[in-house]
Amino acid sequence: MVEVARNDGGRVELALLLRRLTVELDAVGERFAKPHGLGRTDVRAVIAIMDATRRGEPLTAGGLGAAVGLSSASVTALVDRLERAGHVHRVRDATDRRRVVLQMSEASMAAGAAFFGGLQRELVAAMDGFSDDDLDSVRRWLTAMTEVVVAHR
Amino acid sequence: MVEVARNDGGRVELALLLRRLTVELDAVGERFAKPHGLGRTDVRAVIAIMDATRRGEPLTAGGLGAAVGLSSASVTALVDRLERAGHVHRVRDATDRRRVVLQMSEASMAAGAAFFGGLQRELVAAMDGFSDDDLDSVRRWLTAMTEVVVAHR
DNA sequence: CCGAATGTCTCGATGACCGAGAGGTTAGGG
DNA sequence: CCCTAACCTCTCGGTCATCGAGACATTCGG
């Protein structure tokens, strides 16, 4: 690894920086989860539900399972946990009464917005020191890296 | 979120791109874990052991626990699993015989290098389309973002 | 109206994790 | 040389997240 870092123009270093950043972002997730009595999966679930709600396409139990990669049995247990903790409500869909749509509670929506929204604002603020050209480079880079990662099997 | 995206020069979009990328990188970890009979934690452990070994400071059981945030009991179980699967060996430290240092097996080292090294090569290759200035912008940005994330409590 | 498809939940089993504490090892002071 | 405190790892018992299989309710097409 180190020995490769000679004539690559620092490209390997960027890969390592990226890994470091993802590790730290992971840690942030845990710092959010702990005080709220949530586990890893629960945070992913909450984020998925909030994202879907914001998109105006509320998640169903099944959709949540697909989103976070859980079996139906696990989704039931997961939603039980989140509901018991007051983070989501189960609501029977009016048009298809087999389905259960998940709604975030006001309080949890606010808590999530405060935590992650706060982080996002800090990140955006830290971008003030960058020119539009800088940020455009970053955007293209992030897009390229994501494509590689998605394609990697 | 969307409504903030008007006059920020795409900064929020970058934050979302970053999140997308971390999610995909997470998925890569799982694609590595599954076929090798490993769990989430196991992969983190293997990476920690490989990193430490490369640094020339082999991890002990206790060090591994600190690195991945597990109790000593869990570390024992974790190392049991990895050892049973043939990924690591327990070796009593010669100078301090209380300690157990962990060594990756040749085979697993090779498998890890093939998988993650391969991904790294693809990432580096995808950076060919970027100028040195581009990459310098990216480097500064990654560094700045990491600082924000680390500082966020 | 009936059967197949669909969405969610229940049950029992498995495995990862933790807290408490046992057991062996080292270092330092009488 | 021994005793004790500190240290590192492992064992034990319990808790919780997850899964596979299948039950139950609902919808949809013929």
Mean pLDDT of the region B93-99 = 89
Q: Distance between CA B62 and CA B99 in Å, rounded?
A: 8
Q: Give the number of other Cβ atoms within 10 Å of residue A121's Cβ.
A: 15
| A72: nearest nucleotide, CA–C1' criterion | C8
CATH 1.10.10.10 matches A40-104: yes
Closest Cα partner for A48 from B19, B32, B33?
B19
At the topology level, CATH places domain B39-104 in Arc Repressor Mutant, subunit A (1.10.10)
Q: What is the pLDDT of residue A7?
A: 64
pLDDT confidence of residue A147: 96
What's the pLDDT tens digit per position in A101-136? 999 999 999 988 888 889 999 999 999 999 999 999
Closest CA to A14 of A142, A110, A148: A142
The Cβ-side half-sphere exposure at B134, using a 13 Å CA radius, reads 15
pLDDT tens-place string over residues B119-132: 999 999 999 999 99
* pLDDT of residue B82 exceeding 80: yes
Q: Which of A6, A14, A55 to mutate to test the interface with B (most CBs of B within 10 A)?
A: A14
B7 pLDDT band, cuts 50/70/90, is: low
Mean pLDDT of chain A: 90
> pLDDT (tens digit, 9 = 90+) per residue, A1-43?
544 445 687 899 999 999 999 988 988 888 888 888 898 899 9
Stretch B127-151: mean pLDDT, rounded?
A: 95
Q: pLDDT tens digit string along B13-70?
A: 999 999 999 988 988 888 888 878 788 889 999 999 998 988 888 899 999 999 998 9
Considering only the beta carbons, identify the residue of B20, B143, B152 that sits closest to A122: B152
Average pLDDT, chain B: 89
Residue in chain B nearest A126 by alpha carbon: B144
For residue A5, what pLDDT is reported?
47
Length of chain A: 153
Q: Which residues contact B10 (CB under 8 A, 6 or more apart)?
A: A135, A139
